């Protein structure tokens, strides 16, 4: 009598979900598991989703030694889903738009400052060189004269 491993319905569902979308289940990218979590959100309660992810991660770890349930992206996605469920507002955004937009503004300002600084530096170098600067691409010049 052969001993069979018990089947993991969570793993089978994850593999079928990945195949339907053309994604790899093994080795899975943490982004793939986070997307699967988002797909499960309207279908299951947060506690059931967390149990589902533990089952998927256990089998994935046996195959690849990678624990996907411990990845920060997966953990933050699960946390945000639980937060939304507690607020009972299912139409709430997964991420706070104001926080995301505010975090982008300093980066944009920083890029603008860096661009302006680089432009000012180039202009100053050009003035010091008397209007002549080295070009980024050298000119190809033959050392010998060609006879006609």
- What is d(CA 128, CA 147) in angstroms, rounded to the nearest whole number? 40
Answer for the pair 23, 32: CB distance below 8 angstroms, yes or no.
Answer: yes
- Residue 99 has a pLDDT of 53
- Residue 5 has a pLDDT of 53
pLDDT digits (tens, 9 = 90+) for 106-117: 666 667 777 778
pLDDT of residue 102 exceeding 60: no
| Domains of the chain, residue spans | 9-97
Of the options 3.30.930.10, 1.10.150.130, 3.40.50.300, 2.40.128.260, the CATH number for the domain spanning 9-97: 1.10.150.130
Question: Quick one: the chain helix, strand, coil %, rounded to 5?
Answer: 65, 0, 35
pLDDT digits (tens, 9 = 90+) for 34-88: 889 899 888 888 888 888 888 888 888 888 888 888 888 888 888 888 888 888 6
């Amino acid at each position: 009598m052969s001993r069979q491993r018990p089947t993991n319905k969570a793993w089978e569902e994850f593999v079928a979900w990945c195949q339907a979308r053309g994604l790899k289940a093994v080795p899975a990218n943490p982004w793939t598991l986070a997307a699967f979590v988002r797909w499960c959100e309207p279908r299951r309660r947060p506690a059931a989703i967390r149990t589902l992810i533990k089952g998927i991660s256990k089998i994935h770890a046996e195959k690849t030694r990678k624990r996907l349930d411990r990845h920060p992206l997966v953990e933050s996605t699960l946390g945000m889903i639980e937060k939304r469920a507690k607020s009972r507002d299912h139409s709430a955004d997964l991420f706070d738009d104001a926080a995301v937009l505010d975090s982008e503004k300093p980066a944009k300002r920083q890029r603008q400052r860096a661009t302006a600084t680089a432009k000012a530096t180039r202009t100053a170098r050009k003035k010091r060189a008397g209007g002549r600067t080295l070009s980024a691409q050298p000119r190809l010049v033959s050392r010998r004269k060609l006879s006609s």
